[in-house]
Structure 1
Amino acid sequence: MSVTRRPYVLLVILFLLVIGCSAGAVRTTPEPRGAAGPEAVPLAVEPVVPPAEIPGLGPETRARFPGTARQALVVTGLGPDSNRSSVVLYSRDDPARGWRPQAGPWPAHNGMEGWTDHHLANDLRSPVGVFGLTDAGGRLPDPGTLLPYDEEPRFAVSGEGFLGEPLEGSFDHVVAINYNRTPGTSPLDRDRPLGEERGGGIWVHVDHGGPTQACVSLTEDRMRELLLTLDPVKDPVIVMGDAASLAR
């Protein structure tokens, strides 16, 4: 190497040393593994709330519901041999929310001797089960129900009930319970698909102040409210029985 180039080479070496030292002075601090930022906060997870079920109904009873039912009139007897019961109307307009009370509770009467899983004609017990509500009628004109309504003088009734109370007006308004009957017919229809020995003509009707043969009875104002609320588009059903039977 010539003497004239030696200062130039020394300058290059000095420059490289300076650059190397500067680069070595740059340090980075890695982020903690899994951190999303300097102030990362875990995301809140909303709890999944299942659709509400109707209180007091067990799995066997719920399994009898048609999948299309969005109205349910629940009649809960005070005991297997009691003729008094409580009625609540439920609706299911939003499947995600489930069943919600729509009206009630209302006091009611049922069969004189209470309830049975195997109703027979004249046993004075109301049948336990889930039945459709498709047809209405009565001695008085239709109050404005969406159900098919048969206004017919033959709904007139007289005489006395089990407690000596007058029966007049009991069938001013009725809703047929689809136990041992053909849906889509007048409540007065006498067809009995299960046979005459299994009874029939079981209705929701106006209360006369005492037990029934096998029907469910509501006060006149509640009966009219029920007629105005039931909607055939919602495939209404009646769920009826003593509390222990419905809880199965």
Structure 2
Amino acid sequence: MQRLLRFLACGLMTLATASAFQIPASSTQCVVGTAKDWNTSYVILALWQRDGGGAWKQVGPTWSGRLGRDGLVWGRGMSPAPAGARLKSEGDWRAPAGVFSIGGAWGNDAAIKKKPGQFYRQVTSRDLWVEDPTSKDYNKNVILDHEPSTPWEKKQQMKQDDPAHKIKLFIAHNAAPRIVPGGGSSIFFHIWRADGAKPTAGCTTMQEDKLRWLISNIDPSRNPVYVLLPAAEYQAKRTEWKLP
């Protein structure tokens, strides 16, 4: 877990001014999600990589996913939000837009197919993901030294009996070391519901086989990032931010 936090901290330390931001040169792997507009819950996803020459190349075909029920809103990640823009808040039913470090997987399996160095934890009944903005552990994985007993502990438990959460990959929105209380928590790639018929509360979801393929290809040594934007915003930022 400490290794994961160090990786995410390195990504978040690349925050810059709006006029200077670019995807870091060290980030050679990028998941791109583009939505029709700010208010849709549908997204098209693709995996891109760049090698020595610096040119981005798409890995495999695009695939479909779902976002927050009410669409997108600027998130707290590596990229700056426009001055005065509305930012994601806890319970707003919107997916965070911008550029985010990604990495760290949780699930029910004893082991998963993954790249060397990728953090993975098998979830137990003692695993919490804290969504209470008043807690010092907000938006963190907490592992209890006892079985959950209080109503608060049980409310924060990671879901083991929910098929949509049996495997997930962390999206570092509002993540350590720059966590804003109430700024939104528990943002992951995970399995979609009802074969894609249902939106999310803010996560990015997809078919299980696509998610497992994505997790197996995400390489921590490439400092992978997730770019999620409406299509028009993506095109406007593409050159400036050096997007795929």
* Structure 1 length-normalised TM: 0.64
Answer yes or no: is the 8 Å Cα contact 1:139–1:156 preserved in 2. no
Indicate whether 1:106 and 2:106 are aligned: no
How far apart, CA to CA, are the structure 2 residues paired with 1:136 and 1:61? 33
Answer yes or no: is the 8 Å Cα contact 2:108–2:160 preserved in 1. no
1:198 to partner: Cα distance: 0.5
Percentage of matched positions with identical amino acids: 24
1:177-188 pair list within 5 angstroms: 177-182=171-176
Aligned length: 170
Answer yes or no: is the 8 Å Cα contact 1:170–1:205 preserved in 2. yes
Answer yes or no: is the 8 Å Cα contact 1:139–1:172 preserved in 2. yes
Q: Which among 193, 200, 213 is matched to residue 201 of structure 2?
A: 213
Number of the residue aligned with 1:54: none
Considering Cα pairs closer than 8 Å and 6+ residues apart, tell me whether 1 or 2 has the greater RCO: 2
Q: Which among 111, 122, 132 is matched to residue 151 of structure 1?
A: 122
1:126-165 pair list within 5 angstroms: 126-146=95-115, 147-154=118-125, 155-156=158-159
Query: Alignment partner of 2:163: what SS?
Result: coil
Answer yes or no: is the 8 Å Cα contact 1:206–1:218 preserved in 2. yes
1:103 to partner: Cα distance: 2.5
Q: Which among 168, 173, 177 is matched to residue 174 of structure 1?
A: 168
Deviates more, 1:112-121 or 1:149-158: 149-158
1:137 to partner: Cα distance: 1.1
Number of the residue aligned with 1:203: 188
1:156 to partner: Cα distance: 2.5
Deviates more, 1:192-201 or 1:73-82: 192-201
The answer to which structure has the higher strand fraction is 2
Query: Alignment partner of 1:135: what SS?
Result: strand
Number of the residue aligned with 2:42: 84
Indicate whether 1:233 and 2:233 are aligned: no
Query: Which ranges of structure 2 fall in alignment gaps of 5 or more residues?
Result: 1-17, 75-86, 126-157, 237-244
How far apart, CA to CA, are the structure 1 residues paired with 2:110 and 2:98? 30
Return the letter of the residue paired with 1:156.
K
1:83 to partner: Cα distance: 0.2
Q: Report the RMSD for the aligned CA atoms in angstroms.
A: 2.0
How far apart, CA to CA, are the structure 2 residues paired with 1:101 and 1:176? 22
Query: Alignment partner of 2:68: what SS?
Result: coil
How far apart, CA to CA, are the structure 2 residues paired with 1:227 and 1:246? 24
* Structure 2 length-normalised TM: 0.65
Relative to 1, partners in 2 of residues 1:237 and 1:195: Cα closer, same or farther, differing over 3 Å?
Answer: same
How far apart, CA to CA, are the structure 1 residues paired with 2:20 and 2:95? 19
Q: Which stretches of structure 1, 4 residues or longer, exceed 4 Å deviation after superposition? A: none
Return the letter of the residue paired with 2:43.
S
Relative to 1, partners in 2 of residues 1:232 and 1:224: Cα closer, same or farther, differing over 3 Å?
Answer: same
1:61 to partner: Cα distance: 10
1:104 to partner: Cα distance: 2.8
Which structure is larger by alpha-carbon Rg, 1 or 2?
Answer: 1
1:178 to partner: Cα distance: 0.7
